[in-house]
Amino acid sequence: MASIEAWFMDDSDEDHRMPHKLNPNEPVSLKELENIGVFYWKLDADIYETDPVLEKIRKDRGYSYSDIITIDKDKLPNYEDKLKMFFEEHLHLDDEIRYILDGRAYFDVRDREDCWIRIAMTKGDLITLPAGIYHRFTLTETNYTQAMRLFVGEPVWKAYNRPADEFDIRQKYVSALQCA
C-alpha cells in the first residue's frame, strides 16, 4: 500500500532542512496531492535496475531517459550553490520525476490556495510533479540523498523562478486545477 508523509508547512525562516510542521500538524493525504497533480509510488529501491514495477511505470508514462544524482557535499560539485538553486521556488515546462534510491529529502509544492505542502521523501519513493506547478527541493538534516531523475525524451534542466505565470504550461496547470 502506498504511503507518503506530507503536511502543510509553517512560515518559519529557520533551517529549511527541518520538517516545518504546523502546530498542531495538518497532514496532507495522497488524494489531496493527486488533486494538485502530484503522483506517488512506493518501490523497492534495492532492485531499481531490474524492478518490473519501475519498468512498467517508465513504459506507461514514456520515461525513456534517466540518470542518477547524488546530493552530498563530497560528491556534488558546487554543492552549496546547487542546494540554493534547488530551494528557489520555480517551475518547469515538463513534469519533474524523482525516485529516491537512498537518503532523505523534501519536495515542497504549492496547493490551490498557494500554501506550501512539504512532502517527505525516503528510499523507495517515486514522485511526479506536473509541469507548471511551483515547487522547490531541499535535503533533510541528514544532508544526503541519491535520486534517479526520469524524463520523457532528452532531459531539460531549465527551471523558471517565480514569478513565471506568463508561461503557457503554468496557465494550463492553473486551468486544470480550476476544472478539477
Q: Annotated binding site for Ni(2+): which residue ranges?
A: 90, 92, 96, 135
Residues making up the annotated binding site are 90, 92, 96, 135
35 φ, ψ to 5°? -65, -20
| Residues paired with residue 9 on neighbouring β-strands, in sequence order | 21
How far apart are alpha carbons 177 and 172 in whole angstroms? 9
What DSSP letter does each residue of 43-74 carry, written as one string?
--GGGTTT-HHHHHHHHHHT--EEEEEEE-TT
Cβ atoms of residues 43 and 99 within 8 Å: yes
Binding annotation for Fe(2+)? 90, 92, 96, 135
- Match 496547493 to its residue by C-alpha cell: 111
